Structure 1
């Protein structure tokens, strides 16, 4: 009996180990981390690898899961990476063209001129302006949120959609199956359905066992898309929820950032939404895509839709491309900082060559694992000359990247492995000094409410805490 159990033990570890070693799509650090935990905790880690080790999307019955570019081509839309001439025509200086061309290559969306943006002063203004735009809508409203709560914000937006649907506006509302599971089971969801709003669930978890056996339950649609009449979009970090965020009230307020944008990229965000809608459980056709009106004298920008169906590693490679183009200053805010080696090396490289690199992170993170992994990188970053500030009053949820006061990346993507590998995300990359300066001033307000982390403080960290943080940092590729 002992020999039988030993044989099964060896076969189990060898089988999973060979599977990990045979995969050609796995990063070396992820491969090493999985091999390490399978040796240390064989039975638990083999089960976890089966459930979470591979990025596998279960197919919608009768359909192939398409990426955004494939979906656009299937709908007859033209997609192709931007050329240097196209970037120049959009007003992108030569310094930034490599990064913009890389961004364009992710989905095949063109870098186009003719955009205008207004930074919302806070979450309250963003909600008020969004509701006003919905009340003025005459044709179509499409919204997608990772988290939609039936609190004041969620109820007001649902009621605005119901009013719009009753006056003849086509309204589509889509939510993530896990992030908004409470809403899907609520009376508010039923009210929207009865009020004429077309509803859909992205990546549903109504049959969790089936999801775990055929896919990964932690593959989520983290996008935040609001589209009104095909002419207005909102891009940023804000879910459909109050700042008090009752799911985790002790970390409140949630501090977000939102841009109201007009211009050709609205159609690009519409294509990302239509792709998600067509491959969801919706019984209604996705929206048709029409060109959005270019704004006279507007700036150049491109939409980006990332996710497990898109090219692997596109997000960290885009961040690294942007950092490589920077000459003076890089300022980043993100709630979840779990970088891979691409992003970590790019940050340190930029700082070592004289670029002033600043990171703004929450002082208290709602994920204790993420907080520990973030701290495990502090020593290396500070040694390279990166400035780190920890935001105190609430959870800083804004995902922003400003470079040299001219270029901004803003949207739903965190600088963590989950956003890099597992989540469907949406972002905007833009070149405009006025918009970038507005975001930069907001970042500066975050810094004023933060405390600076010093190398001396990191060195004074108790030995047991350093061991714990570094252990979680070593395991971060599989967390």
Structure 2
């Protein structure tokens, strides 16, 4: 008797039951997976086992949690109730939400400078690396072998040779060309400590026991634990030669000085401790406050965070808005709470603007995004499509004074899967700079015509809506 059909049927059923039993998953994602498992009984179970859950091993999770808590104690006394009390009451909830994610408090006494563009951001980073005295910590997703990428290589080599301790986490997939190059070897020979982050290991050791497509999407540079760069900038030219047809990549990077720099260094050090086994607690001294500086809090999210953490941070900002919200993001595939919050924001009279790239390097995400246009337009969201290139900046400015920026997109990967870093701050001056940059994006954007959205062809609507259903899977 051939038992294989029964074995396969049992395995198929077991995967469906697993998808139904997994706690914390939103109903749309659960329904999408179950539908896929029923329609594709061979391919879908394999895909589910590989990509269906953002799983990591218990040992990995425990080590990461222990490392982060140890480092977070450095900031346990830095935040205080006075910092939150000084905020307008309507803006305290977003800070409290982010504090719960980060496990340390908002800190006052920070100042920030917005870099002019991608090239200026790299030039400023190189200048600060050249001025570093003790440490340089970098976490990046994509590092290309181009003008800007090599400028960072040269700066790190110079710093390491004069005795500065340089540590680099580069995502093993996003930065694979650099990691395989002679420039990576040159940095290692100069004394730069290097980590191909989340690489696939062959020995089935601790770091191999995780979902294979989890990525380190963080973009972060910290100098001497006193200066930090936060934003969307990869270590690459805006021409982005691996995808030149979508260029220029338009990014935003904020140079921050003050106590929040130490929080950003804690984010770097916690990942370094897990992947390299080196405890940096003794090196991360407190950064001095700046007189009259603004309150801020840095936070990281990823598959080890409570489910919905990044979405909750976005949602809290939208509910806090009183007059205006301007959002830029390259990838817009929100989960239901985030979509509802954005629609609700516009419906209660807040001027809500969403700026997206006209041409997206991901056809699927671009199509899913356009399928959401009718809901957004009907709710009163002002939609704009950026013409010149791929708008890669990830920013939210509320009422011209409350701002969140960093590496997180408003898509499923950033909300649930990737390791991300962001910063929330309250400053009329600094937020005004970022809002001015957003308005510059608007000047190079076309408003989405509500009539065009409503009168899409039937085949186009069908294709986009089917992709919207599949979007909940990812």
Give the deviation of 1:241 after TM superposition.
Answer: 0.7
Give the deviation of 1:76 after TM superposition.
Answer: 4.7
Counterparts of 2:243 and 2:407 in 1: how far apart (Å)?
19
Matches within 5 A, 1:59-458: 64-67=62-65, 71-73=68-70, 76-77=73-74, 79=76, 85-88=82-85, 91-207=86-202, 214-280=209-275, 282=276, 285-286=279-280, 288-458=283-453
Give the deviation of 1:65 after TM superposition.
Answer: 3.2
Counterparts of 2:299 and 2:72 in 1: how far apart (Å)?
18
Distance 1:285 1:83, change over 3 A: closer
Mean CA deviation greater in 199-208 or 139-148 = 199-208
Secondary structure at the counterpart of residue 478 of structure 1:
coil
Give the deviation of 1:109 after TM superposition.
Answer: 1.9
Counterparts of 2:368 and 2:203 in 1: how far apart (Å)?
29
Counterparts of 2:431 and 2:203 in 1: how far apart (Å)?
42
Secondary structure at the counterpart of residue 408 of structure 1:
strand
Give the deviation of 1:286 after TM superposition.
Answer: 3.3
Secondary structure at the counterpart of residue 358 of structure 1:
strand
Secondary structure at the counterpart of residue 145 of structure 2:
coil
Paired position in structure 1 for 2:33: 34
Query: For structure 1, which runs of at least 5 residues remain unmatched after alignment?
Result: none
Query: For structure 2, which runs of at least 5 residues remain unmatched after alignment?
Result: none
Give the deviation of 1:350 after TM superposition.
Answer: 0.7
Q: Is this contact kept in 2: 1:205–1:211, CA < 8 A?
A: no
Q: Is this contact kept in 2: 1:82–1:105, CA < 8 A?
A: no
Counterparts of 1:166 and 1:468 in 2: how far apart (Å)?
56
Distance 1:81 1:312, change over 3 A: farther
Q: CA offsets, 1:298-336, max 9 Å, x none?
A: 011111111111221111111111111101000000000
Counterparts of 2:150 and 2:178 in 1: how far apart (Å)?
10
Distance 1:96 1:44, change over 3 A: same
Secondary structure at the counterpart of residue 304 of structure 2:
coil
Counterparts of 2:274 and 2:196 in 1: how far apart (Å)?
10
Q: Is this contact kept in 2: 1:269–1:303, CA < 8 A?
A: yes
TM-score norm. by structure 1 comes to 0.94
Distance 1:97 1:451, change over 3 A: same
Give the deviation of 1:99 after TM superposition.
Answer: 1.1
Secondary structure at the counterpart of residue 74 of structure 2:
coil
TM-score norm. by structure 2 comes to 0.95
Paired position in structure 2 for 1:16: 15
Give the deviation of 1:215 after TM superposition.
Answer: 1.9
Counterparts of 2:447 and 2:357 in 1: how far apart (Å)?
12
Q: Is this contact kept in 2: 1:334–1:414, CA < 8 A?
A: yes
**Root-mean-square deviation (Å):** 2.2
Secondary structure at the counterpart of residue 375 of structure 2:
helix
Q: Is this contact kept in 2: 1:409–1:428, CA < 8 A?
A: yes
Give the deviation of 1:246 after TM superposition.
Answer: 1.4
